[in-house]
Amino acid sequence: LIDITAGEQSNPGKGEYLNKAKIADGGKKTRKNWTTTWVVLDGSKLLFYKDSKQQAVTNLKPGCKPESVDLYGARIEWAADKSSRKNVFLITTGSGNEFLLQAESYSTISKWHDAIGKAIECESKS
């Protein structure tokens, strides 16, 4: 039998709480400020919501948009050197924004790393 509950705790498509810190905006370094954010991988976009409730509200009110990161032309790399925290990777967007994403669990963060990596690869081929 296949365990259908496996992987249910971590699902980039459905969304999950991750720790996020923006460290550059348009190539300019910004002050690092970690916040816990509800992150959803939506095709070629990464969406940052304040919490999972905001995602539900946004779906009802299309005017309330979450912060959205276009993965077209983006890069992803593990970034142990960019933080004292463990399980951190860096996303650099085509427009020069840099985000660190982090989770306490390695299995969680590696799922996100894989999923975002695939989304970027997919974008670069289209």
Binding site for ligand I3P (CB under 6 A): 31-32, 34, 83-85
Instruction: Using the minimum distance from each CB to ligand I3P, give the nearer residue, 32 or 65.
Output: 32
The residue number with the shortest CB distance to ligand I3P is: 83
Torsion of the alpha carbons at 53, 55, 59 and 61, rounded to the nearest 10: 70
Q: Are 78 and 88 in contact (CB under 8 A)?
A: yes
Least gap, CB of 102 to ligand I3P (angstroms): 8
- Residue 56, amino acid: A
Least gap, CB of 67 to ligand I3P (angstroms): 20
Q: Where are the beta strands (DSSP E) in the chain?
A: 16-25, 28-29, 35-42, 45-49, 67-70, 75-78, 88-92, 98-102
Least gap, CB of 24 to ligand I3P (angstroms): 12
Q: How many residues does the chain have?
A: 126
Q: Are 100 and 79 in contact (CB under 8 A)?
A: yes
Least gap, CB of 92 to ligand I3P (angstroms): 16
Instruction: Using the minimum distance from each CB to ligand I3P, give the nearer residue, 28 or 31.
Output: 31
